[in-house]
Amino acid sequence: MTVSPAPVTTKAIRPRLLLGPGPSPVSDRILEAISRPTVGHLDPQFLAILDDVSDRLRHLFGTANPTTYAVSGTGSAGMEAALVNVLEPGDEIIIGVNGYFGLRLADMARRMGAEVIEVPAEWGGIVDSDRLVEVHRSNPGARALALVHAETSTGARQPLDEIGDYMRDQETLFILDAVTALGGIPVEVDAHAVDICYAGTQKCVGAPPGLAPITFSSRAIERIRTRDSPVASWYLDVSLISSYLGSERRYHHTAPINSFYGLHEALTVIEEEGLEECFDRHERVGGLLQAELADRGFTPFTDPAHRLPQLNAVRLPEGREEAPPRAALLRDHGIEVGGGLGPAKGSVWRIGLMGQGARESVVERLLTAIDDVLRSPA
C-alpha cells in the first residue's frame, strides 16, 4: 500500500522566527495590508499609495531627490537598476569589495561591459577611505564608484563621512548599496553626496521581499539623459518608469500592487515609531545580542570597530560545527539564522535582528534556544 503525499499548500506554512540575513519577521499588520483588494496600477487609489511610498522613502533615504521609488523586483534588481542606468560599455567603475555583495556589484557591472576597478578589503573589514580616494585619483574619469553600506555577508558597516565629502566634488557618480542598512542605521543620501542608493524591503524595513527602494540624484538623472546608448534594460530604465511615476502616468509595466501595500504599511510603522527611535532600537538590541553571544564564547567574524547592530556574523564557540546546531534551531525552535558566505562559509552564523526582529524579547527567545541546541556536546 502506498500513501500518497499530502498536497503542498500554503495553509500548512508554519511561522518561523526569522533571524537570518533576510527576510526579517513580517508583522501581522503588514501581512494584513498586503491582502487588501488588488486594484489597477492606474487606479487613483493605488496612485495615492505609490506617491506616499515615494514620500516616505525620501524620508528614510535622507534625501529630497524627486526620483525616488521602488523597483518592481528584489534588492538585487535594485542593484542592477543602479548600475544599468548609468553604465555604458567601456565605462570604468570603482567598486569596494569587502564581501559577497561587493563581488556581486562587480559581476553585474562586468556583464554590462564596464571596466571594473576593484578596491579589495578583507571580508569582515571595511574598505579604506584613503585607498578609495587614491584609486579614484588614478582613475578620475571613472563613471561611478560603488560601496556597500551594510555588507550582509559579513556584518560590516562602511563609514561614509570621508568618502562622501570627497565624492561631492567629483564628476564620478557615487552609488551606495543600502539593502541591509535602510531602516536599521541612518542612511544619509544627501548628506553623503550619494547619487544612487538602493535597498530591499525584507531587511530592516520589515516588509516581505519583492521590491527595491531606490533614489537617483539630479546629477545621476542628468547623466542618464546624456548617455550615448539607450539603457540596456527596458524593465529597469528609470526614464521610462519616471513617465509612470510623474503626472503623465504613462503605462510602463503593471506594478506589483499588493507588494506596494505591504511596503506602504511597513513605512507607516517606521514613521509611527520615529526614525531615530527605530535606529536606537536596532542599536540597543544588536548590542545586547553581541554582549550575550560573547558571554557564550561566540566571537565576531567582523572587525569589532565596524559591526552592524542588525546583522551579526559570529564564529561559533571553539570546536563547534555551525550547521548542526543551526539545523536544530530551525527544527526544534522554529528559528532561522543564516550560515556564512564565501570565506565565512562553514564556520559562521549570520544573525539578523532586523525590523520587527530587533526586540529584546526576540533576543531572549533566541538565547534560550541557542543554549538548548548547544547543550548537547559538540
Q: Which of residues 297-326 bind its own copies (CB under 8 A)?
A: none
Q: Contact region for its own copies (CB under 8 A) — 158-166, 190-198, 259-267, 285-293?
A: 259-267
In this chain, which of 101, 198, 216, 261 binds its own copies, going by CB under 8 A?
A: 261
Cell numbers linked to 80: 542592477
Question: How far lies 164's CA from each of 11, 93, 173, 303, in Å?
Answer: 48, 16, 11, 22
We find the least distance from the C-beta atom of residue 338 to its own copies, in angstroms, to be: 8
We find the least distance from the C-beta atom of residue 161 to its own copies, in angstroms, to be: 30
- Minimum CB distance to its own copies smaller for 138 or for 251: 251
Contacts (CB under 8 A) with its own copies, residues 19-58: 20, 22-23, 25-26, 31-41, 43, 45, 48-49, 51-52
Contacts (CB under 8 A) with its own copies, residues 266-295: 268
We find the least distance from the C-beta atom of residue 88 to its own copies, in angstroms, to be: 12
We find the least distance from the C-beta atom of residue 172 to its own copies, in angstroms, to be: 22
Contacts (CB under 8 A) with its own copies, residues 340-359: 341
- Minimum CB distance to its own copies smaller for 140 or for 230: 230
In this chain, which of 12, 248, 276, 376 binds its own copies, going by CB under 8 A?
A: 12
Contacts (CB under 8 A) with its own copies, residues 91-130: 104, 107-108, 110-113
- Minimum CB distance to its own copies smaller for 121 or for 231: 231
Contacts (CB under 8 A) with its own copies, residues 219-248: 230-235
- Minimum CB distance to its own copies smaller for 164 or for 262: 262
User: How many residues make contact with its own copies (CB under 8 A)?
Assistant: 76
Taking CB under 8 A as the rule, does residue 59 contact its own copies?
no
Q: Contact region for its own copies (CB under 8 A) — 78-86, 132-140, 302-310, 362-370?
A: 78-86
By C-alpha distance, which of 177, 147, 151 is closest to 162?
A: 147
Question: How far lies 220's CA from each of 133, 156, 268, 330, in Å?
Answer: 20, 27, 28, 44
Taking CB under 8 A as the rule, does residue 250 contact its own copies?
no
Cell numbers linked to 296: 557564550
- C-alpha 92, offset from chain centre: 24
Taking CB under 8 A as the rule, does residue 262 contact its own copies?
yes
Q: Contact region for its own copies (CB under 8 A) — 125-133, 136-144, 156-164, 263-271?
A: 263-271
Q: Contact region for its own copies (CB under 8 A) — 115-123, 140-148, 183-191, 255-263?
A: 255-263
In this chain, which of 195, 265, 303, 322 binds its own copies, going by CB under 8 A?
A: 265
